Amino acid sequence: MTMISAPLKLFLGWRVVVVIFLLSGSLVFLSESSNAQVDSTDVEQLENYNWRIMQRNLHGIYIPYDIYDAFEELKANSSENSLRRFRDAPEEEIGRRLFFGIGGWMRNNWQFFEGSRFSHYLRGLGLTHPDDMTVFMIESFHRYLNDRDLEKEKRIKYLQEERKRINQMRWQTDTLKIDTIIH
């Protein structure tokens, strides 16, 4: 059995404490950022969220109550030319191409991160991450404009599986391996 000097034990012990502290900070960051909207342990934040999901308007912007109301809102606020170009774009590229354009508008104005009655509706469908809500809405609107079946359940399941895969990859790259020291 190998003996470890006292200073080395102290140094290694300190590193383990630092690693644990950093990992706990990563866990808090991941839990807050991966699903956004509300930390159920913060009473004030929960009260604010509950207030927000009851509002028809937030910051002067109308918040849709469901997906079809959102489609009507998007149509009412878009030119015929924009709608035609959106409709004619290839479906396999639409989510990626418009993620920061109309997707950013939806995410910010319909308050996907902070919570709104529409993001709450989408959470009820099974979409918990604002980015997934964004992609889902872009693709759904494209399908709606092209008179295609929305396939909500199938697409939501796919987005949930992708989010799980992304989170698992993140955990794998954020995990440190620590060997046990026997003394």
Domain residue extents for the chain: 36-174
Query: How far out from the chain centre does Cα 158 lie?
Result: 14
What single-letter DSSP state applies at residue 58? Answer: E
List the structure tokens of 128: 């918990």
- CA–CA dist 153, 157 (Å, integer): 6
Kind plus residue range of the DSSP H or E element containing 157: helix 152-174
List the structure tokens of 139: 């693709």
Q: What is the pLDDT of residues 128-159, one digit of tens each?
A: 999 999 999 999 999 999 999 999 999 999 99
Other CB atoms within 10 Å distance of the CB of residue 180 = 4
User: Which has the higher per-residue pLDDT, 166 or 178?
Assistant: 166
Record the pTM. 0.73
- CA–CA dist 130, 33 (Å, integer): 10
Q: What is residue 57's three-state secondary structure?
A: strand
Residue 20 above 50 pLDDT?
Answer: no
Predicted pLDDT of residue 19? 39
Q: How confident is the model at residue 181 (pLDDT cuts 50, 70, 90)?
A: confident
